[in-house]
Amino acid sequence: MTHPSLRPFHDVWLRPRYVFRELANSPIGGIDYLLAAAQGMVNWLALARGESLGKSLSVLQIIGTAFAFGSIAGVLSFLLMAEVYRRLARSLGGTASRAQVFHVLAYSGIPMVASLGAWVLTACLVGEPVFLETPSADLDRFVHLLLGVQFTAHVALVLWSGLLQIMGLSEIERISVPRALGLCLFGQILVAFLAVVLALILQGGQSS
């Protein structure tokens, strides 16, 4: 059970260790999955910008795809990452459960989730240029400013989420912050490698 005064959506921004201590005995719940799904949507929208999908797809199509597939990808990736982090942490003396690691992944991403509203709002105001890696120079100066502010805010919030994740893993695994940083980096590299291997396997299966 969590402490009745716990406000995880508010407290995690500046008191991540307290939040993850209070969540330690809680099972993975609906809010965890919703946060994982929302982070998957944000990653999908950022990928759409990096791939300049605004050239070929409408804003509605991109956002719809983020909600339909980005959310599923977010939950599945969190399930994989929680298991990978848990196993890697064992070599560092960590003892956290999969649920505790999932809580860290989900709630540390609250700043990143906050950027989802900025993505959608900016897309509604600006349109397809928000999903272009290099917007046209012909756009209005205000539009360029808005796009710059939105993406800068996104990067800042993602970095904040990364910091909260490191602090959270340090707390629940009872390891130092430098070790938690190494755990995060190596875990993400390993998950990315597994994702590439899986993509190649699926691609090979489709071509055969």
Euclidean distance between CA atoms 155 and 112, whole angstroms = 9
Radius of gyration of the chain (CA): 18
CB–CB of 71/35 below 8 Å? Answer: no
Query: What is residue 92's predicted lDDT score, i.e. its pLDDT?
Result: 82
Query: What is residue 135's predicted lDDT score, i.e. its pLDDT?
Result: 79
Query: What is residue 195's predicted lDDT score, i.e. its pLDDT?
Result: 77
What's the predicted TM-score (pTM) here? Answer: 0.89
- The length of the chain is 208
Residues 6+ apart with CB under 8 A from 197: none
CB–CB of 58/83 below 8 Å? Answer: no
The tokens for 154 are: 């996104």
- Give the residue extent of every domain in the chain: 9-203
- Taking alpha carbons only, the member of 32, 67, 35 closest to residue 48 is 67
Query: What is residue 119's predicted lDDT score, i.e. its pLDDT?
Result: 93
Query: What is residue 200's predicted lDDT score, i.e. its pLDDT?
Result: 78
The tokens for 196 are: 């590439």
What three-state secondary structure class fits 182? helix
Query: What is residue 206's predicted lDDT score, i.e. its pLDDT?
Result: 56
Mean pLDDT by runs of 10 across the 208 residues of the chain is 74 93 92 96 93 90 92 93 91 88 96 93 90 83 89 94 95 92 90 79 64
Query: What is residue 197's predicted lDDT score, i.e. its pLDDT?
Result: 81
Question: Tokens 């502010």 map to which residue?
Answer: 149
Helix (H), strand (E), coil (C) string for 92-140? CCCCCCHHHHHHHHHHCCHHHHHHHHHHHHHHHHHCHHHHCCCCCCCCC
Query: What is residue 205's predicted lDDT score, i.e. its pLDDT?
Result: 60
Euclidean distance between CA atoms 120 and 19, whole angstroms = 28
